[in-house]
Amino acid sequence: MGWIHSSPAVRFIRLVADTGRWWLRSVTRLAHVHNLNPYVFIVLSVVGMIIHALYYLPWFKDQSPELAFLVVLRILALAAPFYILMRGKRIAPVFNASLIAGWTLSTTWHVCYFVYL
């Protein structure tokens, strides 16, 4: 069975898995250095994906649920920069300012697009 381990497909899968593990360790280490919990970002991403998926269900196609999903997603998008701002240490304030400015512009665009178009 030694020939299985040397096949290109297995080597590629191992390379992808090793790269993924290295990236996950690097991100986790970076979060811990800045006094942040990486699971907060994972939970925020999963909740955002669930809300985004609910948007496409047929029973939420009325105008009011769409606006509610938009508002909830925008508030959720502000949670990560706010968490970094409150809990993070040694993180450049410019990074947080750029996230908040980007969130504000994105929210303005989405609201104007949804309400006026």
Report pTM.
0.57
Q: Same domain, yes or no, for 109 and 64?
A: yes
Between residues 41 and 63, which one has the greater pLDDT?
41
What's the CA gap between 73 and 34, in Å, rounded?
26
Q: Same domain, yes or no, for 29 and 43?
A: no
Q: Same domain, yes or no, for 17 and 62?
A: no
Q: Same domain, yes or no, for 14 and 63?
A: no
Band of residue 9 on the pLDDT scale cut at 50, 70, 90: confident
Contact between 44 and 80 under an 8 Å Cβ cutoff? The reply is yes
What the block records as the tokens of 87 is: 């809990």
Sign of the alpha-carbon dihedral angle for 51, 52, 58, 60? positive
Q: Same domain, yes or no, for 40 and 29?
A: no
Structural domain boundaries, residue 8? 1-33
Q: Same domain, yes or no, for 58 and 4?
A: no
Q: Count other C-beta atoms under 10 Å from residue 77's C-beta.
A: 17
Q: Same domain, yes or no, for 4 and 50?
A: no
Tell me: pLDDT of 1 over 60.
no
What's the CA gap between 15 and 67, in Å, rounded?
43
Q: Same domain, yes or no, for 51 and 25?
A: no
What domain count does the chain have? 2
72-106 pLDDT, tens digit each: 877 887 787 778 777 777 666 656 666 677 777 77
